[in-house]
Structure 1
């Protein structure tokens, strides 16, 4: 069983960047009426270009059955919700070319994430409708997806575990 953690920049740092407008803006623009939180993600597209796609994912229920993780060895992948609803982010460290023990995070409203290149992660997992996201990732001619299917599924819950 994997217990969900709140998403924070410090806890998520080994896997990617938290995208939000927390703290004071880096500068004010647009006649002082807009705070710019500058350069929040380390986008990495390798030898390809960055593209913006729109994903519309079906919401999932808890406990969530995690039986597969994927990674993109040639580029980062950013998810920006087009709504105010939290969503589930599941990541794992690499362990000899396979996902290690997964961790699950729940975003706060208005938080997005950028997964660094080659990070094992679960699929897009909204917890409610709508599941609409802007996704910024690598657009190229070569494959950029590796999947790993677990022999035994994990279950992700918001209830404390008894470890």
Structure 2
């Protein structure tokens, strides 16, 4: 599970417990040896949480990028990121990454005691 739409202690699998207007993340990672490419197959918008390289990741360094779905996104080696998150309920992506799949991870919840909130609506994203 990469993220939730509501506080995980209140989220349910059977019923929707909150509007799907954000994703709450507990984890970020980067690949030191290769990049990763995502290409939207349905031309629908998505968001990508990311932060600049370095082993001093903190929650305030993470930003969410709004992608309109008309083109793909390449994440260079060393860039902190999580999965890509579709704005709509369903979307398909082509995903490619280098042959070496090393990964450095950060458990944001465990290390900082917070979840990262990334909006799934364009009108809620600031400073793009």
Aligned to 1:65: 24
**Structure 2 residue 107 is matched with structure 1 residue 145:** no
Aligned CA RMSD, in angstroms, stands at 2.2
Aligned to 1:125: 85
Specify the structure having the higher radius of gyration (Cα).
1
Unaligned runs of 5+ in 2: 1-18
> d(CA) in 2 for partners of 1:160 and 1:78?
23
**Structure 2 residue 125 is matched with structure 1 residue 156:** no
Q: Deviations over 1:50-83 (max 9, x none)?
A: xxxxxxxxxx932211221111110010100111
More helix as a share of residues? 2
* Offset at residue 139 of structure 1 (A): 1.7
> d(CA) in 1 for partners of 2:125 and 2:46?
19
Query: Alignment partner for residue 92 of structure 1, among 36, 51, 65?
Result: 51
Large movers: runs of 4+ above 4 Å: none
More strand as a share of residues? 1
SS in structure 1 at match of 2:117: strand
* Offset at residue 88 of structure 1 (A): 0.7
> d(CA) in 1 for partners of 2:73 and 2:125?
24
Unaligned runs of 5+ in 1: 1-59
* Offset at residue 129 of structure 1 (A): 3.9
> d(CA) in 1 for partners of 2:41 and 2:47?
15
| Residues paired across the two proteins, number | 99
* Offset at residue 98 of structure 1 (A): 3.7
Aligned to 1:107: 67
- TM-score computed with the length of structure 2 as normaliser: 0.67
- TM-score computed with the length of structure 1 as normaliser: 0.54
Q: For the Cα contact (< 8 Å) 1:75–1:117, is it kept in 2?
A: yes
Aligned to 1:36: none
